[in-house]
Structure 1
Amino acid sequence: MFKVLHFLPQKKYVYLVINFRINIQPQVAALSKIQELRQLSQVDKYLTREWIFMSRPHKILVVDDEPDLEPLVLQRMRREIRNNTYEFAFANNGINALDQLNTDEDIDIVLSDINMPKMDGLTLLEQIPSINPNIRSVIVSAYGDMKNIRKAMNQGAFDFVTKPIDFMDLKTTIERTAKHLELWRDALAARDKLTSINNELSIADKMQQSILPRIFPSGENYKIAGTMLPARNVGGDFFDVINCGEGKIGIVIADVSGKGVPAAMFMMLSRTLIKGSAIGNKNPSDVLKEVNRLLVEDNLTGMFVSVFYCVVDTRTGQIFYSNGGHNPPLIVKPDGSSMFLEMESGVALGMFEEIEFKDQQFTLEPNDRVVFYTNGITETMNANDELYGNKGLIQAAKSNKDLNIEQFNQAIVSNVREFSKDVRQSDDLTCISLRYDGPASSKV
């Protein structure tokens, strides 16, 4: 099914629902049917390309002065281009990019380098909203250039990648940006239709979902799974998995204070700053310290975020971690026994300047599992005012220890929901699980 939604100027709505049962590409069929409808009705003046969802691929403008980048992008993205998922255009500086943006209404996403002749990426970023405020920008920055990354994010960039470009990371970033763009457009389309507070909560929920990773890195000797079940009133949980290189994986789980769109915006900023600060294999405590400093500097909302961040060396099983006021992860042994990771409680980020965070270390043994979670899990209550608590989490992990990591992770969240089935969910339920099979060279 193909659906087109557009607003009439009088705030009425036009819905076109078309069923296709012909053996041609859906996009071609959609555009063909729309052209037919335009000839038969007066809907044309209301049916703009901006709101024809799914009728064309996302068009990405790549702005970079390196001549080798264009053929490289076309080669690495050939499958997505062939599948009509993305279409690419290219410009070698900001001025040329503006010319294309002014003449091509189909451009959805701008992927721009920061350092370019004639007009740099930051200047370009300032100009884009005046042309089309719905375009999403992803910047390309030098490795570890947090000053420019932060400046770009403050100017409205959605995300960033670093040079040299890791194309797996780029694909994930573009996919997340495209998904966010689609959800954001849906939310905008519903904005005038909904008059209650549910409108804001719906937008916040979509923003929250759009930044969560959909694909998790995995290796010969480890697997990761993650689930976030949002509350109806939308909290601020988020998590991310960061490829730190050299067999190291960064895992962050966090919970932002507050609700609704402000919390969602603070959540997106926090997630971006953590990702940016984590690049370069810094100590986890340094990451939290840098993010705290940046959040405090621009925090006009009074919000804060509890964060647990760790780097897992998948070659050795070592976990290097630091905590900012978050719940301790649960280590689950192959026999079902478990223990909470010993750590300093720390202070949530965004509250106070010059906070020090402590680095700690733990070594996983073969077939250990680690459960990262937010307080929505352990603070769930049932109809008898009983707390799920640490006891419930420990029992759920033990009961499901033989499942694969995806099933194990989902089973924990499902167990929480079953415990509180007669009570409305009041907080996000977020859980990430890691299974470590031992050093790759020693695997049986």
Structure 2
Amino acid sequence: MNKIEADGQVYKKLLRQYLESDNNSFLDEAKRMSISFVSRNIYPEEIVRIHMKAIDSLYGEMFNDYKRSLQFLLEALIAYRKAHEEFEKLKLEQYELKSEIQVAANMQKTLLATKVPEIDCLDIGAISVPFRQMNGDYFHFVQGEDGALGVAIADVIGKGVPAALSMSMIKYAMDSFYEESMSPSAILRNLNRVVERNVASNMFITMFYGQFFSASNLFRFASAGHEPGFIYRARKKKFMEIDAKGIVLGVLKHTYYNQYEIQIEKDDMIILLTDGVTECSRGGRFVKREEVIEIIEKYADLPAQQHVEQVYRHFHQLDDFELKDDFTLIIIKRKV
């Protein structure tokens, strides 16, 4: 007699004693037996089979309908176990994938890390909050030997791992350029060729690149279809939209990007952002650009880094706030 048959005999004895005496102590015996089944990895449907054999042995044809109902239960339990095993497998795979994405997200933070430079005449703040684990936004600062400060902000039209990989490619392409080719127009023209050759045709990248020259207080810039930023004129207490047009990176192989320049006065601000700032949701509607300007102006007296963090915190703390995309905001203030 094998172990399953021995289990069946014990189970049948306990069942008969319980049915004939209605003594609940036999239920406790059955529970202890079930615990032993668990330790031996015996599935519920096998217990149903043992029960069916016990009923058949004890009562024969008297319980045909009952036995048929148990067969029904048996099939249901078999299907349940298979589905449960598949569910647990999917859960494990999902956990492993989530862990891998978290590792990739941490690597991305390291790869795309940029140090906010310290320049005597400027106060600079930057914040980038990903919508998901991987960030499809990118910002970068470059200090040239001629004293110019280069600032880049970009956004992949898309989300997830492909967007994050594209941002890594942009960063390393920029690092490979010679400094003499770092004018805004040249930067975008060179990056356009990189994106057109290496990124899928259904994925595009918007980008803004600017240079601030502290000797002349001149801000030179170009845009590849990027969300318009603002210039705040302190003397007039007025925000002006940065007017720069250009086609997004990767659409056309040969594209020229117009370059613009503007003088930055004392206490003026350069505000650069991605569309995740203006496309965040409040009460089921997109936040308007006017609202963003209002909040930026509200906290304008703060140091630049506290300024950008407070703007994000202001929206994030609203009860009906919902982030719809990666949120990136840069503020550059001329101090003297």
TM-score, L = length of structure 2: 0.67
Aligned equivalents of 2:101, 2:216: Cα separation in 1: 43
Which residue of the other structure, out of 102, 111, 135, is the alignment partner of 1:202?
102
Give, in angstroms, the shift of residue 422 of structure 1.
3.6
Q: Which residue of 1 aligns with 2:324?
A: 426
Instruction: Specify every segment of 5 or more residues in structure 1 that has no aligned partner in the other structure, as ranges.
Output: 1-191, 439-444
Aligned equivalents of 1:418, 1:405: Cα separation in 2: 20
Q: Which has the higher contact order (CA 8 A, sep 6+)?
A: 2
Give, in angstroms, the shift of residue 343 of structure 1.
1.6
Aligned equivalents of 1:394, 1:349: Cα separation in 2: 27
Matched AA of 2:238: S
Q: Which residue of 1 aligns with 2:15?
A: none
Helix, strand or coil at the partner of 1:361: strand
Give, in angstroms, the shift of residue 229 of structure 1.
1.1
Aligned equivalents of 1:389, 1:205: Cα separation in 2: 30
**For residues 369 and 414 of structure 1, do their structure 2 counterparts lie closer, same or farther at Cα, with a shift above 3 Å needed?**
same
Please tell me whether the aligned partners of residues 316 and 322 of structure 2 are also in contact (alpha carbons under 8 angstroms): no
Q: Which residue of 2 aligns with 1:230?
A: 130
Helix, strand or coil at the partner of 2:281: coil
Q: Which residue of 1 aligns with 2:217?
A: 317
Aligned equivalents of 2:184, 2:176: Cα separation in 1: 12
**For residues 211 and 352 of structure 1, do their structure 2 counterparts lie closer, same or farther at Cα, with a shift above 3 Å needed?**
same
Q: Which residue of 1 aligns with 2:252?
A: 352
**For residues 334 and 418 of structure 1, do their structure 2 counterparts lie closer, same or farther at Cα, with a shift above 3 Å needed?**
farther
Q: Which residue of 2 aligns with 1:52?
A: none
Aligned equivalents of 2:272, 2:182: Cα separation in 1: 21
Aligned equivalents of 2:180, 2:161: Cα separation in 1: 31
**For residues 258 and 197 of structure 1, do their structure 2 counterparts lie closer, same or farther at Cα, with a shift above 3 Å needed?**
farther
Q: Which residue of 1 aligns with 2:295?
A: 396
Give, in angstroms, the shift of residue 231 of structure 1.
1.2
**For residues 196 and 392 of structure 1, do their structure 2 counterparts lie closer, same or farther at Cα, with a shift above 3 Å needed?**
farther
Give, in angstroms, the shift of residue 409 of structure 1.
1.5
- Give the percent of matched residue pairs that are identical in Structure 1 and Structure 2: 24
- Counterparts of 1:295-374 in structure 2, within 5 Å, are 295-300=195-200, 302-334=202-234, 336-344=237-245, 346-374=246-274
**C-alpha root-mean-square deviation of aligned residues, in Å?**
2.2
**For residues 233 and 301 of structure 1, do their structure 2 counterparts lie closer, same or farther at Cα, with a shift above 3 Å needed?**
farther
Give, in angstroms, the shift of residue 434 of structure 1.
0.6
Asked if 1:387 is matched to 2:286, the reply is yes
Which residue of the other structure, out of 285, 298, 308, is the alignment partner of 1:409?
308
**For residues 262 and 435 of structure 1, do their structure 2 counterparts lie closer, same or farther at Cα, with a shift above 3 Å needed?**
same
Asked if 1:241 is matched to 2:141, the reply is yes
Cα offsets for 1:270-300 (capped at 9, x unmatched): 1221333362254311111111112212234
Aligned equivalents of 1:286, 1:314: Cα separation in 2: 21
Please tell me whether the aligned partners of residues 207 and 248 of structure 2 are also in contact (alpha carbons under 8 angstroms): yes
Helix, strand or coil at the partner of 1:227: strand
Aligned equivalents of 1:393, 1:194: Cα separation in 2: 37
Aligned equivalents of 2:102, 2:324: Cα separation in 1: 16
Runs of at least 4 residues off by over 6 Å:
none
**For residues 433 and 265 of structure 1, do their structure 2 counterparts lie closer, same or farther at Cα, with a shift above 3 Å needed?**
same
Asked if 1:289 is matched to 2:196, the reply is no
Please tell me whether the aligned partners of residues 277 and 291 of structure 1 are also in contact (alpha carbons under 8 angstroms): no
Aligned equivalents of 1:229, 1:311: Cα separation in 2: 24
**For residues 214 and 311 of structure 1, do their structure 2 counterparts lie closer, same or farther at Cα, with a shift above 3 Å needed?**
closer
Helix, strand or coil at the partner of 2:161: helix
- Counterparts of 1:100-119 in structure 2, within 5 Å, are none
Please tell me whether the aligned partners of residues 116 and 125 of structure 2 are also in contact (alpha carbons under 8 angstroms): yes
Matched AA of 1:215: K
Please tell me whether the aligned partners of residues 112 and 168 of structure 2 are also in contact (alpha carbons under 8 angstroms): no
Higher helix share: 2
Instruction: Specify every segment of 5 or more residues in structure 2 that has no aligned partner in the other structure, as ranges.
Output: 1-91
Is the radius of gyration larger for structure 1 or structure 2?
A: 2
Aligned equivalents of 1:376, 1:314: Cα separation in 2: 30
Aligned pair count reads 244
